Amino acid sequence: MCHLLATSLRFAAARRSRWHIRDRHRTEGHHAVPLALALALAGCAPTDDGPRPVRVAVAASAAGVTRELAALFEARADGAPVELSIGSTGGLYAQIRNGAEFDLFLAADAERPRLLVDEGLGQESRTYAMGRLALVGALDEAWDAALVGGVGDAARDGESEGRATLIAILQAPGVQHVAIANPATAPYGAAALEVLERLGLRSELEPRLVQGADVGQTHHFVATGAAELGFVSLAQARAREGEPLFEIPADLFTELRQDAVLLDDSPGARAFFDHLGSDDARRVLEGAGFGLPSDG
């Protein structure tokens, strides 16, 4: 019976949508049928299914660790199920502003969560992690040879060892493409450009840059061979066992303060928001490759 009611409701809604397109003034009399069906369906809903899922929008840089945090939360006696939607920070921010229904947003920066609070779309925000940047790519024997020679040359020019190593990797023979996330929507992409700028390599490498929508797609470019190197989060790089990586020195980019914003103050959402600052969550975040906020 409930299945039939649901089918009828979808059919009625579709008809009402077509009426609305043809004549905006004819819709008023047609609300009663879908409303009645909706009320009938409400009686079909089970009452013992437990708490409503917590809907979390999460930046791709923190997707893996958020899955771990969600599993930890769901295992608690009072834990609700968690549903994740993954994307770029800028893209998810735009969705929320356009009415997407999420309970929390775990961004890769502090700016978008602050803006959501200022715009009245967020309840409060807090820093849950400090992002770390890494360069990934399969280094073959030819690259290894270039790396050994390159470090010496750069070091003689006054570069620190970390910078010298990074310059040598980026300038190694065979590097045709370097993947970064879209800097307009992904904070890790903006940080990657900042690194190239501070190394004095941006103009040299810009023609070889390929952009992913987020760091998840950026990592995919490297994994599939579409790019020889890619800038991703350290947490992503560590999650792929056996993949060569180089952690970017922190003095080469502005700190990546990653904030979470509470969008809906329901009990489940509030509980997950508080869970992010728990000792267990901090251990998971640190183990994954994130830094911890000093005030957390």
Question: For residue range 224-236, what is the model confidence (pLDDT) as tens digits?
Answer: 999 999 999 999 8
What is the rounded CA–CA span in Å between residue 14 and residue 116? 33
How open is the CA angle 55-61-63, to the nearest 5 degrees? 35
- Count of structural domains within the chain: 3
Q: Considering the domain boundaries, does residue 295 fall inside one?
A: no
pLDDT level of residue 174 (50, 70, 90 thresholds): confident
Q: Considering the domain boundaries, does residue 182 fall inside one?
A: yes
The better pLDDT of the pair 144, 135 is held by 135
Same structural domain for residues 110 and 156?
Answer: no
Same structural domain for residues 275 and 241?
Answer: no
Range with top average pLDDT, 1-5, 53-57, 163-167: 53-57
Same structural domain for residues 29 and 68?
Answer: no
Q: Would you say residue 4 has pLDDT above 60? A: no
Same structural domain for residues 126 and 138?
Answer: no
Q: Considering the domain boundaries, does residue 210 fall inside one?
A: yes
Q: What pLDDT, on a 0 to 100 scale, did the predictor assign at position 25?
A: 34
Q: Would you say residue 24 has pLDDT above 50? A: no
Q: Would you say residue 268 has pLDDT above 80? A: yes
Question: For residue range 62-108, what is the model confidence (pLDDT) as tens digits?
Answer: 999 999 999 999 998 777 899 999 999 999 999 999 999 999 999 99
Same structural domain for residues 84 and 222?
Answer: no
pLDDT level of residue 41 (50, 70, 90 thresholds): very low
Q: Considering the domain boundaries, does residue 47 fall inside one?
A: no
Same structural domain for residues 156 and 242?
Answer: yes
Average pLDDT of every residue of the chain: 81
What is the rounded CA–CA span in Å between residue 60 and residue 71? 17
Q: Would you say residue 215 has pLDDT above 90? A: yes
Q: Considering the domain boundaries, does residue 212 fall inside one?
A: yes
211: left (phi over 0), alpha (psi -120 to 50) or beta: beta
Q: Considering the domain boundaries, does residue 49 fall inside one?
A: no
How much is the average pLDDT of 30-38? Answer: 41
What is the rounded CA–CA span in Å between residue 134 and residue 22? 54
The better pLDDT of the pair 165, 25 is held by 165
**DSSP secondary structure string for all residues of 97-164:** HTT---SEEE-SSSHHHHHHHHTTS-SEEEEEEEE-EEEE----HHHHHHHHHHHHHHHHTT--HHHH
| Binding site members | 61, 89, 215
Same structural domain for residues 14 and 75?
Answer: no
| Binding site members for molybdate | 61, 89, 215
Q: Which residues contact 91 (CB under 8 A, 6 or more apart)?
A: 185, 213, 214
Same structural domain for residues 85 and 111?
Answer: yes
Residue with tokens 């978008």: 112
Q: Would you say residue 10 has pLDDT above 50? A: no
Phi/psi at 49 (5° precision): -85, 0
pLDDT level of residue 222 (50, 70, 90 thresholds): very high
Q: What pLDDT, on a 0 to 100 scale, did the predictor assign at position 273?
A: 97
Same structural domain for residues 186 and 126?
Answer: no
Q: Considering the domain boundaries, does residue 293 fall inside one?
A: no
Of 9-13, 34-38, 243-247, the range with the lowest mean pLDDT is 9-13
Q: What pLDDT, on a 0 to 100 scale, did the predictor assign at position 138?
A: 72
Q: What pLDDT, on a 0 to 100 scale, did the predictor assign at position 78?
A: 78
The better pLDDT of the pair 165, 39 is held by 165
Contact 138, 296 (CB under 8 A): no
Q: Considering the domain boundaries, does residue 242 fall inside one?
A: yes
**DSSP secondary structure string for all residues of 4-55:** HHHHHHHHHHHHHHHHHHH-GGG-GGGSHHHHHHHHHHHTTS-S-S-SPPEE
Q: Domain range for residue 212?
A: 133-247
What is the rounded CA–CA span in Å between residue 232 and residue 245? 10
> Domain of 138: which CATH number?
3.40.190.10
What is the rounded CA–CA span in Å between residue 179 and residue 57? 24
Same structural domain for residues 74 and 178?
Answer: no
Same structural domain for residues 64 and 205?
Answer: no
pLDDT level of residue 49 (50, 70, 90 thresholds): low
Q: What percent of the chain has pLDDT over 90?
A: 62
